[in-house]
Structure 1
Amino acid sequence: MQHSARYVVIFAAAVCVVCSVFVSAAAVSLRERQEANKLLDRQKKVLTVAGMMRDGESLPAAEVARIFETSVRTHVVRLAGGRMLPDVDPELYDPRQAAADPDRSHPAPSNRAGILRVADQQLVYHVVEDGDVSAVILPIEGKGLWSTLYGYLALAPDTRTVRGITFYEHGETPGLGGEVDNPGWKAKWPGRLAFDEDWTPRIGVKKGVAGPPESDPYRVDGLSGATITSRGVTQLLEFWLGEAGFGPYLTEFRSGGGRG
């Protein structure tokens, strides 16, 4: 059976349209699934650094979402002045997108963390127990050796005592800088002090082995063979705990504001 050239062209075009619709739908579905997985991973990291999940513990996605929704409050804060912004929906706000937008970000002051621009507004997380904030979780980021490290630092309500640290995205060398993911190394952070008595950021990673928190409160063991990554962790904490980062917010929190 022969068909005219016009029929062949129309048929081929129809097949292309149908295929493109299926491909587009699959791409959208895949992207949505990837975004959902990223959100789930970050929720797990927040719960882990807050001590509400064990490192590496596997829970169903619905259970993670339930614990997060019932125990964690997410807020948007303005870095300048440290005030909370209750009118801004944290579920619709992405600080990484904002940092790339000149209208919603500003150049970072000179710093050792390799941070060039900072979003005007950032997210903070409060773990709430019996109506009181039991932990404050701050997003942190900064340059390592090969990549930007993205993670969370958890502080006790005094905003001085470290509850934990974790990283959810980086490209450091496995077995070297990638040891920021090692549960044994992360277990050395709780009980350390983020600030000295004058509220100057002091927490960091030393070269070599640190003592216990009681005798060496401001230092954590260095990562063997990863001097630059270790230094990067120190420098990103210095930035985000300082005046250009969450310093004003933490001051506001200690004064009784910024608690949500």
Structure 2
Amino acid sequence: MAETDWNPWRRLLALPNESRAKTIIVAFLVSAVCAVLVSGATVILRPIQTANRAAEEQARISDLVRGIPGMSTLLDASGGTLSTVVIDLGTGRAAQGVTAETLQVALADQANWTPLSAGQDIAGLAQRPNYAQIFLLREGDEISLVLLPVTGQGYGGRFDAMLALHGDMNTIAGIAITQHAETPGLGGRIEDPSWQESFPGTLVRDDSGEVRFKVARGDATTEYEVDGITGATRTGTGFTRMMQFWLGPDGYGPLLDAIARGGF
């Protein structure tokens, strides 16, 4: 009498190829091995993918910044080297434990967003992220330029922009619109270079710290205003509210104060 082989692998291989049990087991094992390999590759490649995305984002931001009227000359004159940091908007300081590489993961957690009351929510955001990635240009120990992503609600929907402030944290160096849904030929003119060129030199806050920036209804008449866009009053109002929110205490206000007094 032949001795029984208790090795399950050999017993499986001994089954005829047309065996349904053998087919199902082999298919399961192949699927399991493939799943392990795919999962392992994902884990191994994730840091590389994250680094590549960060590099692509940095390159996109650099191209965007150089597209701001006059910004390329300003960067070249100052060495052209931008650094980036994730800040805690509540404190105006560098975030603890959140980097540019982990920012999107952090913001996927709803706990890292702050609901805004009706009185706070002048930009129509409903909630504000607790962290934001900003870009700095330094000359020695001094910050000569800061680039701030801002977002708000216009007439046609959300618009996003990159705001550049000089080292005094009160004078606009330039602005670039990165996304909008405004009406072409009307509010859509916010992306026209001719309108964006009116921003450099505009002040955003008065001596008391109150945010005074405004898109005028017509030609600008004060040092805190930029020209309005004919036929796009609601777009201008939305842009004004966006700027006033992000430059105020619930936006970048704590950061701007810290930089202005040399504490960042």
TM-score range, shorter chain: 0.7 to 0.9
Q: Give the C-alpha shift of residue 98 in structure 1.
A: 5.0
Task: Give the counterpart of 1:79 among 70, 89, 94.
Answer: 89
* Residue 104 (structure 1) aligns with: 112
Q: Which structure 1 residue ranges, 5 or more long, are not aligned?
A: 1-30, 55-68
Q: 2:252 aligns with which of 242, 246, 249?
A: 246
Partner of 1:202 in structure 2?
212
The whole-number CA distance in structure 2 between the counterparts of 1:129 and 1:161 is: 17
Is structure 2 residue 121 aligned with structure 1 residue 115? no
Checking the alignment, whether the CA contact within 8 Å between 1:100 and 1:117 is kept in structure 2 is no
* Higher RCO (Cα < 8 Å, 6 or more apart): 1
CA shift for structure 1 position 34? 9.9
What does 1:5-16 align with in structure 2 at a 5 Å threshold?
Answer: none
Displacement after TM superposition at 1:53 (Å): 2.6
- Does the CA-based 8 Å contact 2:229-2:236 persist in structure 1? yes
Select the residue among 68, 82, 85 that pairs with 1:49: 68
Greater C-alpha Rg: 2
Q: Which residue of 1 aligns with 2:223?
A: 217
CA distance in 2, matches of 1:130, 1:81: 24
| Alpha-carbon distance change, 92 to 162 in structure 1, aligned in 2, over 3 angstroms | same
Calculate percent identity across the aligned residue pairs: 33
| Post-superposition offset of 1:50 | 8.0
1:138 and 2:144 matched: no
The number of residue pairs the alignment matches comes to 218
- The letter for the 2-side match of 1:109 is S
Letter in 2 for 1:143: Q
Structure 2, gaps ≥5 residues long: 1-48, 74-78
Instruction: Return the TM-score normalized by structure 1.
Output: 0.72
CA offsets 1:20-76 (integer angstroms, 9 cap, x no match): xxxxxxxxxxx999998766443322233384437xxxxxxxxxxxxxx96111111
What SS does the corresponding residue of 1:165 show, helix, strand or coil? strand
Q: Of the candidates 171, 176, 181, which is equivalent to residue 191 of structure 2? A: 181
Contact 2:150-2:163 within 8 A present in 1 as well: yes
- Give the whole-Å Cα distance in 1 for the aligned partners of 2:179 and 2:116: 21
Give me the TM-score of the superposition, normalised by structure 2: 0.71
Quote the Cα distance in structure 2 between the aligned partners of 1:125 and 1:35: 13
RMSD of aligned Cα (Å): 3.3
For the 8 Å contact 1:196–1:202, the answer to whether it is kept is: yes
Aligned residue number for residue 228 of structure 1? 234
Shift of 1:253: 1.2
Q: Distance in 2 between matches of 1:100 and 1:231?
A: 30
2:69 touches 2:193 (CA, 8 Å); kept in 1? no
